[in-house]
Amino acid sequence: MADTQHTQDGRHPGGETHQVAGDGRPPLTTQQGVVVADDQNTLRIGARGPAALEDFHFREKIFHFDHERIPERVVHARGFGVHGYFENYEPLGDITIADPFQQAGQRTPLFIRFSTVAGNKGSPDLARDVRGFAVKMYTRQGNWDLVGNNMPVFFIQDAIKFPDLVHAAKEEPDTGFPQAQTAHDNFWDFASLMPESTNMLLWIMSDRAIPRSFRFMEGFGVHTFRLVNAEGRSTYVKFHWKPKQGMQSVVWNEALKINGADPDFHRRDLWDAINKGDFPEWELGMQLFDDDFADRFDFDVLDATKFIPEELVPVRRVGRMVLDQTVDNFFAETEQVAFCTQNVIPGIDFTNDPLLQGRNFSYLDTQLKRLGSPNFTQLPVNAPRCPMAHFQQDGHMATANPRGRANYEPNSWPPEQGGPREDPQHGYTSYPAVEEGEKRRVRSERFADHYSQARQFWVSQAPIEQRHIVDAFVFELSKCDRPDIRERIVSVLRNVDESLAAQVGDGLGLAAMPAPAVTARQPITDLPPSPALSIVGNGPSDFAGRKLGVMVTDGSDAGILSAIQDACDAQGVTVELVAPHITGVTLSDGNLVAADQKVDGGPSVLYDAVVLLGASDALSELPAARDFLTDAYAHNKFVGWVPSAEVLLEATNLKARLDDGFVLIAGAGDVDTFLTRCAKLRFWDRQLPAA
């Protein structure tokens, strides 16, 4: 029986055509390198006959497909990674021998993965959640992984509670929902019974949990680490990443709508910025302190639920991180990258932070489970870029077994056969901290204050940020079915701030306020505000790096549009045109311009500010067009408008509610005024009028 064959022009019996070898592209091969003649049809007996078992190409292809998924991360499953480099500002040899900090201008390549914690790989980007901020530096001394978050504190003090925390925060085991959110009974039941989580609850209910994008958020190493210099002297350090783009978040209603309009919003933002040459930058900062400060500080520096205010220990900015290259393949790099907190280099050491100690133990097991082999370090994204030599061998997918006669140490074979030797002079040496004490399951008494810093965070927020925290607590707790859980959280909040607790209780409609939760240690109520903790107080000075949505219709003023585009280009602002049809509109000068988005596919939640450059009666009848404006208004965004757009203002009943967040653009000369106003990012007075 004759097999089905390709014709000379590449046709197969279905009639479609495809490219054949000879057009400059390499031929398709199997994993064994055998060139494939037909990738369209399974080998079979006759045109309608059974498949042949000997079809090795099909067998290999379907085998690999069946196994191409690896277990997703238990936490931080939703992630996005890019490449970049760290550039050191000045030699820091006085405090550390760590390679990246030895020379001014020295560059160290790195890979960074941003992530959300609770959701699965398919969850949306704008979930209310902690953001992972994990950096792998490929130093000349080996790989250093600084595995952090966008918040400097965490929910728990001891790693033994991590399984309980994650189980409680994840979807409920009987229903399998909710996905990528903590607005359910299990999480809040756990949190209400874990007073050490209180500080983190304030952070996670703040706008820090819904950042505008990865580019506009801070990063933190969370734990206290050690830096060690050549003389063996130790300095405590807290690591910070400070975004040079400034900080910015969204509001909750906006986050929900972004998730519907573009669940890949954060990923797309970072991808677009890098590919157009707007490389994001952060400065690496260090809070450096000694044992004397650690002893005097109100809290234990080993407690991961606490932060050190920058006003007490300033952040010394020692270098910058630049992200300038996207991945070639998402799976090979972003999915297979393996971060481990224990990956440190000479000059960086650990402390006895019990959460850090637990992470050091856990991460290696995690990577083995996910990547299926102890040889995950041989994957390109994980492999060090400095020389390696060891006697570790074999295992699944080993590609770099050691060469030579010896696979053990010590041995007496000559150097060319005997392999590597230990190097006491240059090798990693742990800081010789003196430890003593009873072997017990116990925590330091200094870990017992769970409310003072939560109050300090609260009083450090701008009024609008406090309003958002209250609204977030009310929203999340309203999703809890059990009244006793809601009341327990309010009782905890009474130990933070009575005003906060009262507002949350009022929002929940509690008939009476519960008694304050019992405290293990009396909270400190006079810790001063820390201005560094406010996003609003540390926003950008300009509109650079943001995105402006311009709604256009036929007849829109070409001169004003040109002025907007020129001014935005000069300031580093991206402009997208939103029109009734994706084919675009004809401007006042007769030129046709293509649209970037169709009105019902480009809602205002995708933009940091909007301009109504045109409107019509027909456009005003479109619900999506009205939503474009009303959402921008509700989300406190600046709105530029031209007189011809008045019909849309009237259709949305906003003509009578114009405030200072609206800027009339009567001519090209008004564009600069509008963009200057946009530097404030939001017109918060619209949501929280001045008293």
Q: What is the CATH number of the domain that holds 29?
A: 4.10.91.20
Kindly report, residue by residue over 621-644, the tens digit of the pLDDT: 899 999 999 999 999 999 999 999
Number of structural domains (the chain) is: 4
pLDDT at position 689: 63
Residue where a domain stops, chosen among 509, 536, 563 = 536
Same domain, 257 and 172: yes
**Residue 338 within any structural domain of the chain:** yes
For residue 16, is pLDDT > 70?
Answer: no
CATH number of residue 151's parent domain:
2.40.180.10
The residue type at 49 = G
Calculate mean pLDDT across residues 114-141.
96
- Is 64 known to be catalytic? no
* Cis peptide, bond prior to residue 523, ω within 30 of zero: no
Lowest model confidence (mean pLDDT) among 110-124, 394-408, 636-650: 394-408
- Percent over 70 (pLDDT), the chain: 96
**For the chain, how big is the Rg over CA atoms in Å?**
29
Residue where a domain stops, chosen among 378, 396, 425 = 378
pLDDT at position 13: 39
pLDDT at position 17: 41
Lowest model confidence (mean pLDDT) among 45-54, 196-205, 625-634: 45-54
pLDDT at position 5: 38
**Residue 426 within any structural domain of the chain:** no
Average pLDDT, the chain: 92
Calculate mean pLDDT across residues 572-593.
96
pLDDT at position 365: 85
Same domain, 245 and 103: yes
Kindly report, residue by residue over 319-361, the tens digit of the pLDDT: 999 999 999 999 999 999 999 999 999 999 999 999 999 998 8
Helix (H, G, I), strand (E, B) or coil at 73: coil
pLDDT band at 1 (very low <50, low <70, confident <90, very high): very low
**Residue 363 within any structural domain of the chain:** yes
**Residue 384 within any structural domain of the chain:** no
Same domain, 249 and 145: yes
Same domain, 605 and 491: no
CB 169, CB 455: distance < 8 Å: no
**Taking the CA of residue 266 as centre, how many other CA atoms within 13 Å lie in the half-sphere pointing to its CB?**
29
pLDDT at position 320: 98
DSSP states of 402-455 as a string? PPSS--SSS--S-HHHH-----TTTS-------------S---GGG---SHHHH
**Residue 172 within any structural domain of the chain:** yes
For residue 656, is pLDDT > 50?
Answer: yes
**Residue 393 within any structural domain of the chain:** no
Q: Which residue has the higher pLDDT, 456 or 619?
A: 456
Calculate mean pLDDT across residues 361-373.
88
**Residue 392 within any structural domain of the chain:** no
The residue type at 201 = L
Same domain, 241 and 291: yes
Distance CA 382, CA 214 (A): 22
Q: Per DSSP, which regions of 244-362 are E strands?
A: 281-289, 316-326, 348-349
Calculate mean pLDDT across residues 649-667.
95
Residue where a domain stops, chosen among 378, 401, 420 = 378
- Is 149 known to be catalytic? yes
**Taking the CA of residue 33 as centre, how many other CA atoms within 13 Å lie in the half-sphere pointing to its CB?**
0
Specify the residue for token string 């074999």: 394
Burial per residue of 212-223, b for 16 or more beta-carbon CB atoms within 10 angstroms, e otherwise: bbbbbbbbbbbb
Count of CB atoms situated within 10 Å of the CB of 165: 21
pLDDT at position 33: 84
Same domain, 302 and 194: yes
Same domain, 268 and 337: yes
Paired tokens of 387 = 């020389």
- Percent over 90 (pLDDT), the chain: 77
pLDDT at position 237: 98
Same domain, 26 and 93: no
Specify the residue for token string 């946009």: 678
pLDDT at position 11: 35
For residue 121, is pLDDT > 80?
Answer: yes
pLDDT at position 435: 86
Its domain, for residue 4, covers 1-68
Same domain, 518 and 565: no
pLDDT at position 126: 97
Instruction: Name the catalytic one among 88, 143, 149, 382.
Output: 149
Same domain, 167 and 242: yes
Q: pTM above 0.75? A: yes
CATH number of residue 668's parent domain:
3.40.50.880
pLDDT at position 4: 37
pLDDT band at 408 (very low <50, low <70, confident <90, very high): confident
For residue 691, is pLDDT > 90?
Answer: no
pLDDT band at 22 (very low <50, low <70, confident <90, very high): low
Same domain, 150 and 13: no
Paired tokens of 255 = 């986050």
Paired tokens of 442 = 């116990």
**Residue 414 within any structural domain of the chain:** no
For residue 29, is pLDDT > 90?
Answer: no
Distance CA 399, CA 69 (A): 21
Same domain, 111 and 197: yes
